[in-house]
Amino acid sequence: MYKRLVVKIGTNVISRNDRLAEDVVQDIVNQVVGLRAQGIEVLLITSGAIATGKGLVALHGASATAERQVFAAVGQIGLMSLYSKFFDAKGHRCGQVLVTKGDFRDKQHYANMKSCFENLLRENIIPVVNENDAISISKLVFTDNDELAGLIASQLDVDAVIFLSSVNGVLKEEVTIPEIREEDIASFERYVTDTKSTGGRGGMLTKFAIARRLMAHGITVHVVSGKRGHVLIDIVEGKPLGTKFVPTKKISAVKRRLAYSEGLSVGVVYVDAGAEKVLRSGKSNSLLPVGVRKIEGEFKKGDTIEIRNEAGKKLGYGVAQYGADEAGILVGKKGARALIHYNYMVISD
């Protein structure tokens, strides 16, 4: 039985013709309330703000960036109003959390965000999360809300992520593949295309990549049609719907977060061949300054930094045990304390 879920709702699930599909939103809310009655905590990651805004505002001659900002700012109000109305009708409260990719880079923002989610859940308030599209217009934009769902799942002690999509999972010759196990996932890649959903930024290729990463860190993933009624309840009850990605192991919350550090690190440490071999050995080895060739970036203690070999190939990520100034002084020196402790490091396969 799952105890904590992340549910991501796609744009094409929640909207029709640039307007919110109220019946779909109401059905999802009713299911979430039903899960809460079973003691299951749910975080909703919802798309739909921009699509909703398009149905409320007519713009003339605006740039693509301006359209995104205005539609998101106006549409987010309508989106949350609907969630609030339906949750209130069931005697439950929901709370809006808008985030940017930069929030996952900043140590304090990350801690504050995690604390916010935990506090809402403790008070039996359902977090409703979306990217802050009104201000997320730089290179620090999530690939889509699928990526955001994966980041939040890695941040919290989540058992499973459910992607409510416009398609019913991974298809092989138009038939849904019911289950993909972690050890077999490579053999299913050929069935996944990079076709994007109409109105959204995501697609099955993105979901497959995120599912692969989440599985590697002990989180089950479901990709299922969001148009089907009662779908969340049925999944929790174990009914075979959509495609289920099944992991084989569990890892710590810290390493889950580090596994999702692509584009979020604030510095780089380059290691020599000896250090690379030690880190790739699979043993519990920390990164010592003696194996460091050089560092880049102005990072502080507690920041996430990328680990690369001498050729510049990414090896993984870790949490700096001290800042860039001290690290620069200790580069190549024996006997110095670890720059990255094993418990706060993830090395890619």
Residue 249: CATH number of its domain: 3.40.1160.10
**Same domain membership, residue 156 and residue 75:** yes
CA 60 to chain centre: 34
| pLDDT (0 to 100) of residue 110 | 84
pLDDT of 253 reads 66
Q: Tokens 């990463």 label which residue? A: 213
Higher pLDDT, 298 or 217: 298
* In a shared domain, residues 252 and 284: no
- CA-wise closest residue to 158 among 191, 201, 118, 205: 118
Q: What is the mean pLDDT of the chain?
A: 89
Together in a domain, 109 and 13: yes
What percentage of the chain reaches a pLDDT higher than 70? Answer: 92
Residues spanned by the domain of 34: 4-256
| pTM of the entire predicted model | 0.76
How far is it, in rounded angstroms, from Cα 246 to Cα 242?
13
Query: What is residue 43's predicted lDDT score, i.e. its pLDDT?
Result: 98
Closest residue by Cα to residue 224 from 5, 65, 26, 13 = 13
133 labelled binding-site residue: yes
Residue 89 sits in the same domain as residue 236: yes
Does 85 belong to an annotated binding site?
A: no
Q: Which of 256, 278, 301 is the last residue of a domain?
A: 256
Which is more confidently placed, 88 or 138?
Answer: 88
Cα distance between residue 24 and residue 132, in whole Å? 23
The radius of gyration of the chain from alpha carbons, rounded to an integer in Å, stands at 21
Closest CA to 44 of 81, 96, 110: 96
Number of domains composing the chain: 2
Task: Name 347's bridge partners.
Answer: 316
Given this model, what pLDDT does residue 51 score? 84
- The answer to whether residues 152 and 68 touch, using CB atoms and an 8 Å cutoff, is no
User: Of 210, 229, 256, which closes a domain?
Assistant: 256
More confident residue, 309 or 213: 309
Q: Which two tokens stand for residue 169?
A: 């999972």
Measured CA to CA in angstroms, residue 287 lies from 272, 292, 305 at distances of: 11, 8, 12
Average pLDDT of span 36-49? 95
47 marked as part of a ligand binding site: yes
Q: First and final CA of the chain: distance in angstroms?
A: 30
